[in-house]
Amino acid sequence: MEKIKIFDTTLRDGEQSPGCSMSLEEKIEVAKKLESLGVDIIEAGFAASSPKDKEAIRKISIAIKKPVITSLARLVKKDIDEAYEALKMAQKKRIHVFIATSDIHMQYKLHMTQDDVLANVARWVSYAKSLVDDVEFSAEDATRSDISFITKVIQTAIDNGATTINLPDTVGYMVPFEYMNFINQIKKGLNIPDNVILSCHCHNDLGMAVANSLAAVKMGIMQVECTINGIGERAGNVSLEQIVAALATRSDYFEKTTNINRKEIYSTCNFIAQIIKMPISFNQPIIGQNAFKHEAGIHQHGIINNAKTYEIMQASDYGIPYDPLVLGIHSGHHAIISKIKSLDLNPEDYDIENILKEVKKESISQIKIDEEKFREIINKYFILKKIKRK
């Protein structure tokens, strides 16, 4: 199967999320975790944005060996020079340049005409290419841009040396079928050499970042830009762990894979959550506390017999500790029996009916039934059996 490149921007776009700032030392540790995870490209920061970012990129470039290291840069000489200086020591380096292409951005932010933008793309993409072999070009707010214009912009970037073309849904405006159509129209209007790949960078303002990115993969996108835990501007970016899990679980549909070591996902996600002090929500797909938990009796009965009845993935594939049964008001007899067995005890020695009643009663009072509490309950209902004599 073809491999989708995973471009991780946790250290750049992710850190831009309010409250998610990291120290220099933390950024280096995060980069090491991302390298261990197997990401293909690490966007280490935006060198021209601050001396702190530039220094972080420089030190990450020295510390990291396997992934490509990239810095974001506007299409201006100063930004490109700062990015190059920060990346000099990287074994694999990429300069990631961008300029907005939507009418609203060109008018109110850039104060440029279409001709101005085209001229800047030609001039500064070729300049970045003179410094490094690997140049990525992003058309900011691509999905709200005029199709004929953005096609000209992208072709100009390709003609001047960009080998990765990113089509960001910068404000999370797209819906999946619309994004697929957008990509299709772009591809039809371009002359794309074999050495050039298309990339997506989706935001989650309408809750569609993952869906849009997967739609893009279906349309031939070969790089997905994402962050750990989906952190990022406003409602966040596409979540790395969800993209990787979707491609793995539905490989029959997408026929694509990644270089990600899925067993490292859980530890990486929790490591970053601790650093930025942003808890992972209980119902977060893949890594949330409830992602592989079952309280309802019918579901518990199903997974006791065969986990595939209600689980489409294996927790162990993502490095997640597996303890699926939650005792609560919706639990049934099968869960009680299974929990007793998990303690190396014989269910026949206990009054299951009364244990279940007390578990439900305690749950109504919002008392958590952990192992200590469960042992306390079952000890009340131990049945002393008479020894049968011959």
Query: Tens of pLDDT along 144-179?
Result: 999 999 999 999 999 999 999 999 999 999 999 999
pLDDT tens per residue, range 49-81: 999 999 999 999 999 999 999 999 999 999 999
Q: Please determine, for residue 389, whether its predicted confidence score (pLDDT) is greater than 70.
A: no
Q: Of 34, 27, 23, 96, whose CA–CA distance to 65 is shortest?
A: 34
Q: Strand 5-8 and strand 93-100: pairing?
A: unpaired
The tokens 């899990």 sit on which residue? 245
pLDDT of the residue at 390: 42
Q: Provide the 10 A C-beta neighbour count for residue 89.
A: 15
Question: HEC profile for the chain?
Answer: CEECEEEECHHHHHCCCCCCCCCHHHHHHHHHHHHHHCCCEEEEECHHHCHHHHHHHHHHHHHCCCCEEEEEEECCHHHHHHHHHHHCCCCCEEEEEEEECCHHHHHHHHCCCHHHHHHHHHHHHHHHHHHCCCEEEEEECHHHCCHHHHHHHHHHHHHCCCCEEEEEECCCCCCHHHHHHHHHHHHHCCCCCCCCEEEEEEECCCCCHHHHHHHHHHCCCCEEEEEHHHCCCCCCECEHHHHHHHHHHCHHHHCEECCCCHHHHHHHHHHHHHHHCCCCCCCCCCCCCCCCCECCHHHHHHHHHCHHHCCCCCHHHHCCCCCCECCCCCCCHHHHHHHHHHCCCCHHHECHHHHHHHHHHHHHCCCCCCHHHHHHHHHHCECCCCCCCC
Distance CA 80, CA 82 (A): 5
Q: What is the pLDDT of residues 185-215, one digit of tens each?
A: 999 999 899 999 999 999 999 999 999 999 9
**385 pLDDT above the threshold of 70:** no
Encoded amino acid at 149, one letter:
F
Q: How far apart are CA 292 and CA 47, in angstroms?
A: 40
Segment 309-337, tens digit of pLDDT: 999 999 999 999 998 998 988 999 999 99
Split at pLDDT 50, 70, 90, the class of 388 is very low
384: confidence class by pLDDT, cuts 50, 70, 90: low
Question: Exposed, middle or buried by CB within 10 Å (0-12, 13-18, 19+), for 253?
Answer: exposed
Q: Say what the pLDDT of residue 17 is.
A: 86
Q: Confirm if 235 and 203 have CB atoms less than 8 A apart.
A: yes
Q: What gap in Å lies between CA 191 and CA 182, rounded to an integer? A: 16
Question: pLDDT value at position 364?
Answer: 85
Q: Give pLDDT tens digits for 121-142.
A: 999 999 999 999 999 999 999 9
Q: Cβ distance 189 to 198 under 8 Å? A: no
With a cut of 50, say whether residue 37 has pLDDT above it.
yes
Domains of the chain: 2-276 (3.20.20.70), 297-380 (no CATH)
Per-residue pLDDT at 383: 86
Residue 15 clears pLDDT 90, i.e. is over it: yes
Q: Which residue has the tokens 């890594």?
A: 287
Percent of the chain with pLDDT over 90: 86
**What per-residue confidence (pLDDT) applies to 386?**
45
pLDDT (tens digit per residue) in 330-377? 999 999 999 899 888 999 999 999 999 998 988 887 778 888 889 999
Q: Find, among 327, 381, 385, 384, the residue nearest to 352 by Cα.
A: 381
User: What φ, ψ does residue 257 adopt, rounded to 5°?
Assistant: -135, 180
* Two structure tokens written together for 308: 């595939």
